[in-house]
Structure 1
Amino acid sequence: MTRYVIGPDVALRLAQDRAVVRAEHQLLAPALLRSQLLSLLYQAVCRGELTKKEAEQRLGYVRGLRLRLLGDRVLHSVAWQVADQFGWPDTFDAEYVALTQLQADALVTLDRQLAEAVKDLVTVAPIEALA
């Protein structure tokens, strides 16, 4: 079993494509994924990019994923260290990187800048690895 950490960008792409994640993969994310995903979908509806129904369908898809959400003191402590190491203005991306360091085999992100920044800290995999 391969463990992948996914962020809201990947969760939304999977939902948009109605992708089927291979059964031998385990998906992980920090607990903050729920709030980030909800906010991104709300913003897309407000901008007229999605209807409320489409947003609800995508949210339902993500809720249906076998996705383990985590957020303990150790994760937060490591996230703080990662954000500090890179000089980031917040710890949001750092939580995904920290979770990858602590419990996963690779981070899947569509954010090229993030992938490039952390490639020496964690393994970064393409979204195609999931399907």
Structure 2
Amino acid sequence: MRYAIDAATLLLIASGDVVVATGNALVAPNRVLPDLLEILLADVRSGARDEKAALALHTRATETKIRLLGDRVSRRTAWNLAREHDWAELRDAEYLAVATLQADALAAADPRLVRVAAAIVAVAPPEALTAS
């Protein structure tokens, strides 16, 4: 299967908590890596993770086999989703656009994104990535 993933799921993959099964392909919007950095920065600021470990996780995440998307069609689809749902920001819409255009389902660990996505795309827990 082809899964769109969010930054929280990418963190689970980079940390080794979720191992992607052979045969599953991953896609995400270009913003997934900066979003992951924001999660890691919050962890460092709260004391949940030290800086060296956080940056090492980000490096592992950049080495994950994932197709990053940000073409004109996905940006326009994100725009349309945000307008249709009257969202003030494009962040969620970008993940949903990639899921709509390029994936069978969105594997998301961010509960807020899961709530928003459930009415728009098929949603799976990150653990679904371990099955082929």
TM-score (norm 1): 0.89
Shift of 1:40: 1.9
The secondary structure found in structure 2 opposite 1:87 is coil
- Runs of 4+ displaced beyond 6 Å: none
- Partner of 1:56: helix, strand, or coil? helix
Q: Unpaired runs of 5+ in structure 2?
A: none
CA distances 1:92-121 after superposition (whole Å, capped 9, x unpaired): 010010111111100011233432333232
- Please list the CA deviations of residues 58-87 of structure 1 after superposition, one character each: whole Å capped at 9, or x if unmatched: 112212211110101111100011111222
Conserved? CA contact 1:76–1:95, under 8 Å:
yes
Shift in Å at residue 18 of structure 1? 4.0
TM normalised by structure 2 equals 0.89
Q: Which position in structure 1 is the counterpart of 2:118?
A: 119
Of 51-60 and 66-75, deviating more is 51-60
Contact 1:18–1:61 (Cα < 8 Å) also in 2 = no
For these two proteins, the number of residue pairs brought into alignment is 130
Percent of matched pairs sharing the same residue: 37
Pairwise CA RMSD = 1.5
CA contact (8 A) 2:28 2:68 kept: yes
With 35-44 and 99-108 compared, the bigger mean Cα shift is at 35-44
Letter in 2 for 1:128: E
Counterpart for residue 29 of structure 1: 28
Instruction: Could you tell me which runs of 5 or more consecutive residues in structure 1 were left unpaired when the two chains were aligned.
Output: none
